[in-house]
């Protein structure tokens, strides 16, 4: 048992996170204990409050140094610097086929607040609390996580930038590189240029896109999208008819559209700008009861494909090193998305993200 650790706990759906003291369970043979040095903050850490039984410790983009390994762990050693990536069971059909992003148990092991065997990894004042969020719960000074989800790092890139990568950035870059298999020389539109959309823009530029159209209602985000590779921008709040404007720019339509907006107007606009045989990938978790009306005719006449994206179809142990390599070469400037806060400022970081002031907030645990 590892005790006296600071962690941010969520007790209510509307209330801010509270700093508390927790203890970690002893390690199971396949697990490691990580000293968390940095962790990303993602909107799933807020949406998780509606899914995971509370009280719960969230955080799912942890980076750190391994303190202890379980008896069966052979892939990493104490002292190794690692990213904790998304959770996968390791033995279902998808995991066995090297497609952990489609793990059949993904929902439960991500959101149950428990290990896969139903046990708790964390206690607060001797009472078990939900943790094991994405099988890590990195809003704490230390985390227990299965060794299979770890990605070792041997770059000089700062921990706060590594912590920006494993969820939204992996998804946005992965949809281009892994899901679409983008080969360059092609056109792409991205609806919504937050962390996921901007990562799609950067990956498309890296892979040699011909045109990259960014669509967003926030002028500052469109300006950043342009700096990161967008060749065209449209602000629907400033256009009488943004679809007509896009059709003027791309009369034959676009072969690839990425939707990160989660908005039905954007969804229907995106539909109408696809070219024949085009593909549209939806990258954001919809509200469970949400319904959109749409025109099947628009899809049929284009023979278009609508795809949901799970972690960008990216296998983290190979794709995260690829993104780090791109960053090291100056070809994937993820630092432009990141705002760093001390660990003590989680609620400040959340507010800045909600207000659209911080694109990718990251907590630095070394600073507190
Ligand atoms: Zn699995
Ligand atoms: Zn996330």
Residue 140's CB is within 10 A of a number of other CB atoms, namely 28
The four Cα atoms 147, 149, 150, 151 give a dihedral, to 10 degrees, of 150
pLDDT at residue 258, rounded to an integer: 97
pLDDT in tens, 246-266: 999 999 999 999 999 888 888
- Give me the residues near ligand 1 (ion), CB cutoff below 5 Å: 88-89, 92, 95, 103
Q: Can you name the residues that pair with 69 across neighbouring β-strands?
A: 32
CA 109 to ligand 1 centroid distance, Å: 9
CA distance 212 to 198: 11
Residue 6 has pLDDT above 80, yes or no: yes
CA 367 to ligand 2 centroid distance, Å: 23
The residue-averaged pLDDT of 115-141 equals 97
User: Closest Cα to residue 314, out of 174, 182, 204, 177?
Assistant: 174
CA 99 to ligand 1 centroid distance, Å: 8
Q: What pTM was estimated for this model as a whole?
A: 0.96
CA 141 to ligand 2 centroid distance, Å: 19
CA 167 to ligand 2 centroid distance, Å: 4
pLDDT at residue 42, rounded to an integer: 95
Ligand that lies nearest to the alpha carbon of residue 111, given by its number in the listed order: 2
CA 168 to ligand 2 centroid distance, Å: 5
Residue 67 has pLDDT above 70, yes or no: yes
The position carrying tokens 């059909």 is 93
CA distance 159 to 250: 40
Contact 150, 85 (CB under 8 A): yes
pLDDT at residue 253, rounded to an integer: 96
Residue 271 has pLDDT above 90, yes or no: no
pLDDT in tens, 166-203: 999 999 999 999 999 998 999 999 999 999 999 999 99
CA 86 to ligand 2 centroid distance, Å: 9
CA 95 to ligand 1 centroid distance, Å: 4
The model's confidence at residue 368, banded by pLDDT at 50, 70 and 90, is low
Instruction: Extract the runs of DSSP E, i.e. beta strands, from the chain.
Output: 2-9, 18-24, 31-40, 62-69, 81-84, 122-124, 127-129, 142-146, 150-152, 187-191, 211-215, 232-234, 254-259, 274-282, 305-308, 338-342, 360-364
What count of Cα atoms within 13 Å lies in the side-chain half-sphere of residue 200?
35
Contact 213, 187 (CB under 8 A): yes
CA distance 66 to 49: 28
The model's confidence at residue 296, banded by pLDDT at 50, 70 and 90, is confident
The residue-averaged pLDDT of 272-277 equals 95
């Amino acid at each position: 048992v590892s005790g006296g650790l600071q962690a941010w706990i969520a007790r209510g759906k509307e209330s801010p996170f509270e700093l508390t003291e927790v203890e970690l369970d002893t390690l199971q043979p396949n697990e490691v204990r990580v000293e968390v040095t940095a962790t990303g903050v993602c909107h799933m850490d807020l949406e998780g409050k509606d899914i995971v039984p509370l009280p719960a410790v969230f955080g799912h983009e942890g980076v750190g140094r391994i303190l202890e390994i379980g008896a069966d762990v052979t892939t990493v050693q104490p002292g190794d610097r690692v990213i904790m990536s998304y959770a996968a069971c390791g033995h279902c059909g998808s995991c066995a086929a090297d497609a952990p992003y489609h793990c059949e148990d993904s929902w439960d092991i991500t959101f149950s607040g428990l290990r896969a065997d139903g046990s708790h990894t964390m206690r607060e004042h001797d009472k078990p609390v939900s943790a094991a969020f994405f099988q890590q719960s990195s809003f704490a000074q230390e985390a227990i996580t299965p060794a299979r989800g770890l990605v070792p790092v041997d770059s000089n890139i700062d921990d706060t930038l590594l912590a920006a990568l494993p969820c939204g950035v992996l998804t946005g870059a992965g949809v281009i590189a892994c899901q679409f298999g983008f080969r360059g020389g092609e056109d792409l539109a991205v609806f919504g240029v937050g962390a996921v959309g901007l990562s799609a823009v950067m990956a498309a530029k890296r892979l040699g896109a011909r045109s990259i159209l960014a669509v967003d209602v926030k002028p500052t985000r469109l300006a950043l999208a342009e700096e990161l590779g967008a060749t065209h921008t449209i602000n629907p709040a400033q256009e009488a008819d943004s679809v007509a404007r896009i059709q003027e720019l791309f009369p034959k339509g676009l072969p690839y559209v990425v939707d990160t907006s989660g908005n039905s107007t954007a969804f229907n606009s995106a539909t109408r700008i696809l070219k024949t045989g085009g593909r549209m990938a939806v990258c954001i978790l919809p509200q469970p009861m949400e319904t959109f009306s749409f025109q099947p005719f628009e899809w049929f006449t284009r023979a278009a494909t609508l795809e949901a994206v799970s972690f960008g179809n990216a296998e983290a142990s190979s794709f995260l090193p690829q993104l780090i390599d791109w960053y090291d070469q100056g070809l994937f400037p993820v630092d432009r998305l990141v705002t760093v806060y001390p660990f003590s400022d989680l609620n400040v970081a959340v507010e800045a993200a909600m207000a659209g002031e911080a694109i990718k907030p990251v907590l630095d645990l070394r600073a507190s």
